[in-house]
């Protein structure tokens, strides 16, 4: 993956991923909870960005335990990057776009 960044729009049972692979092709796919670990290991991003919400703290800790950097972005900082109708794919793309900004402010994750 270029930039080593993967954005994930979190839901209860499925997740929408957005990133750019090594060839510059856009990755945009929906995966189930059961397949998330396999897909993340296959894509091998260094950083995973998510909107801060209740379950995002769990996932950030889970990714950090796997040796990746989990970054949480306040939803109000993601909203300006949403283009068109709001859906999971658009949200994941907006999270990715927000995370690529050098001045983006991230939330502190909760640590057990």
Q: Give the chain's domains with CATH numbers.
A: 5-107 (3.30.420.110)
Q: Is the pLDDT of residue 1 over 60?
A: no
Can you give the pLDDT at residue 109? Answer: 66
Q: Is the pLDDT of residue 110 over 80?
A: no
DSSP 4: T
Distance CA 28, CA 106 (A): 23
Dihedral, CA atoms, 88, 94, 100, 104, nearest 10 degrees?
-110
In this predicted model, what pLDDT tens digit does every residue of 8-54 receive, in sequence order?
999 989 999 999 988 889 999 999 999 999 999 999 999 999 999 88
Phi, psi of 17 (to 5 degrees): -105, 145
């Amino acid at each position: 993956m270029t930039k080593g960044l993967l954005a994930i729009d979190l839901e209860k049972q499925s997740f929408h991923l957005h990133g750019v692979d090594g060839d510059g092709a856009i990755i945009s796919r929906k995966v189930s909870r059961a397949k998330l670990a396999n897909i993340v290991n296959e894509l091998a991003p260094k950083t995973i960005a998510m909107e801060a919400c209740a379950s995002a703290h769990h996932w950030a800790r889970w990714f950090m335990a796997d040796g990746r950097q989990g970054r949480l972005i306040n939803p109000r900082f993601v909203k300006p990057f949403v283009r068109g109708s709001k859906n999971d794919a658009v949200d994941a793309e907006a999270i990715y776009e927000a995370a690529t900004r050098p001045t983006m402010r991230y939330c502190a994750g909760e640590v057990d």
